[in-house]
Amino acid sequence: MSRHDFQIPITFKHRVCFTRNAFGATNTLLGEILTEGEGRRVLVALEDSVARAWPDLPRQIECYFADLGFDWRGLQILPGGEAVKRDDALVRKIWETIDREHIDRHSYLLVIGGGAFLDAVGYAAATAHRGVRLVRFPTTTLSQDDSGVGVKCAINGLGKKNWIGAFAVPFAVINDFTFLHSQDEETRRAGLIEAVKVSLVKDGDFFRWIESQVENLAALQAPALEECVERSALQHARHIAQGGDPFETGSSRPLDFGHWSAHKLEQLSGFTLSHAHAVAIGAALDTLYSARCGLLRDCVAERVIDVITGLKLPLWHPALDLRDGNGRRLVHAGLEEFREHLGGELTVLLLRDAGVGQDVHALDEGLVDACLDSLRDRQALLDGAKPAPRSCS
């Protein structure tokens, strides 16, 4: 019997770019990035909602690549939204197109759309030929400030969020701020919850900036919105590239603060509740729990909740009160599903302060229930009255 252990060093370049009007004739950013990879064939997948918002975009994209002399393999306008993650229909369609158009590992697949669309198309790209070069163009606040700059892709499976997927570093991520302002106001505003989340776990100064800008952000003023998105995206990318565990081989997932209940809540709602709204509720829950268990000062917890409600995001959803035959809330099963999804020991990040987290390995179910009851009551009050501003030294 013999054993041989080999160390295989693997490095990736994670390109995250910010621009406006990326397909404009005078914008050279995309052409420079693709030339760097020396590939020539280009295929584009465009989410239908983006195509409706920008009806001239398909022609503009085709002209952009014609001027650069790339081997144009077409543009497909495809359905998006959370529905495309419920099965593998879109994934299979992308596979068929990649095969038909002879897109290989040296070709480029550009995907333009929101987070769910990027997830599904990204999974197809990651598994075709064991990996086709993917260039992401996130178009929503949520995808530009969080998921679009990550290295994961997935669809749902077996009734669970993101159960079928892969880790695959995109060839590049290009955040074109022009797309941000074509979203409806609710979608644009709700996506900021991931910026709040990353500020809470990574950067207290960023949280205090969000706190100072909450009225401007709620009003969707462009300078504040774009700065918030860029700072959030860079914090997420920096953690992935420099945090020591880009492919989540350990048990800690700091960027998933508030997500153990959020993913379960999405499932319990039949995926009718948006991911952004679910994360807002989950972040409020874990913040309140951090205070109730003695880790976080109450006044800091209240400031966090004030930011969430200041962005017009919810603290509660009726599915949180769904219970089994023994009266136990169904959302509690989300903890074990959260652990199982990563494996290893259950590890949930709680807060010690804005920008300072602490891993714990168990949550008290009774205390979680008390926090949920409090959030339900707070939401009822907020529906009829605006909370007074708070201060905390």
CATH number at 122 reads 3.40.50.1970
Name residues whose C-beta falls within 8 Å of residue 45's C-beta, 6 or more positions apart in sequence.
75, 76, 78, 94, 109, 110, 111, 112, 113, 117, 121
Of the residues 133, 159, 180, which one is the last residue of a structural domain?
A: 180
Report the pLDDT averaged over residues 242-270. 84
Residue 393's pLDDT is: 46
Q: Is the pLDDT of residue 388 over 60?
A: no
pLDDT digits (tens, 9 = 90+) for 84-96: 999 999 999 999 9
Lowest mean pLDDT among 103-107, 118-122, 335-339: 335-339
- Same domain? For 216 and 155 the reply is no
Is residue 285 pLDDT above 50, yes or no?
yes
Q: Give the mean pLDDT of the chain.
A: 93
Residue 211 and residue 76 in one domain? no
Domain assignment present for 9: no
**Ordered strands of the 108-113 beta sheet:** 16-19, 172-176, 133-138, 108-113, 41-47, 71-78
Question: How many structural domains compose the chain?
Answer: 2
pLDDT at 387 over 70: no
Domain boundary among 180, 214, 230: 180
CB 101 within 8 A of CB 42: no
Specify the pTM: 0.90
Q: Which domain holds residue 36?
A: 16-180
Final residue before a domain boundary, out of 180, 206, 239: 180
Residue 340 has pLDDT above 90, yes or no: no
Q: The CATH number of the domain where 205 resides is what? A: 1.20.1090.10
Name the maximum alpha-carbon separation found in the chain.
72
Distance of CA 368 to the CA centre of its chain: 25
- The tokens for 116 are 């769910």
Residue of 17, 47, 13, 14 whose CA lies nearest to 32: 17
Give the whole-number percent of the chain exceeding pLDDT 90: 81
In-domain check, residue 387: no
Does the structure show a pLDDT above 50 at 120?
yes
Examine the domain organization and report whether 155 and 226 are in the same domain: no
CA–CA dist 114, 118 (Å, integer):
6
Assigned domain for 390 exists: no
Q: How many CB atoms lie within 10 A of CB 66?
A: 10
